[in-house]
Amino acid sequence: MSDTTEFGGLLRDLIALGNESGDGALEKAHHALSERFDIARLGHAYCAELPPARRDELLCMSTERSTHYKWCMASSGHRRARVWLHVYKPWTSATTNFAASIHDHRYSFVSAVLSGSLRERRWGHAEAGRIRPGRLFERPAGSTYRIESTEIHSIEKVCDGTVTLVLQMAATKVYSSVYDPHTLRIKQRIGDLEEAFGRMVDRVREGVSRPEL
């Protein structure tokens, strides 16, 4: 079996796990990724040998953030499981992107650190809507970690050359929250794109339905 075929099979297995329902789905996904020690090699071969049509599909679904590139290796649809390859840019103390903010997610996920390392902090709920800083974790190359959609975290440092493979589970919420680092309260809700698209369509329909004066 070629590396490309094997990695493609791994992607399909992860997507299936990411779309499973039930309390044990995230645990099974975490176990599946933590048991693989050859992901970096397989992923490199897979990307190098992508046929033109598959390469175009990958590029269309991928995006660039201020902190990293998000390469979409596999997707099963909106609000459903996806697999991302996150390739981080050099990290600076001035980083204010979502990844460096205190936030939660619309979905749970499992992340395998393929190279480099990162420092992650978990946050807990305090009183009256406030949060409090929790445990700090070092995530070196070869480690795998998971986070529930209800958990709050922040990425405090990323070493040069850091690459992670992320299994994004099916979404369980329609928005994520960002917390103010000074007040430790929610300062922003980031809605699901489907919600925003629906509002846009409603405005268009409303405009079309208005009679001309």
Give the tens place of pLDDT for each residue, 63-87. 998 889 999 999 999 999 999 999 9
* Tokens read off for 42: 């397989």
pTM value? 0.91
Average pLDDT value over all residues in the chain: 92
4 forms beta bridges with none
CA distances (Å), 41 to each of 6, 86, 130, 176, in order?
A: 11, 15, 43, 33
pLDDT of residue 195: 86
Q: Return the ∠ at Cα 143 (arms to 138 and 146), rounded to 5°.
A: 85
pLDDT value at residue 213? 47
Residues 192, 174: contact at Cβ < 8 Å?
A: yes
Q: Which residues pair with 119 in a beta bridge?
A: 138, 157
- Are the C-beta atoms of residues 121 and 153 closer than 8 Å to each other? yes
Sheet holding 175-179, edge to edge: 131-140, 117-125, 152-158, 102-103, 175-179, 186-191
Q: Mean pLDDT across the stretch 10-35?
A: 93
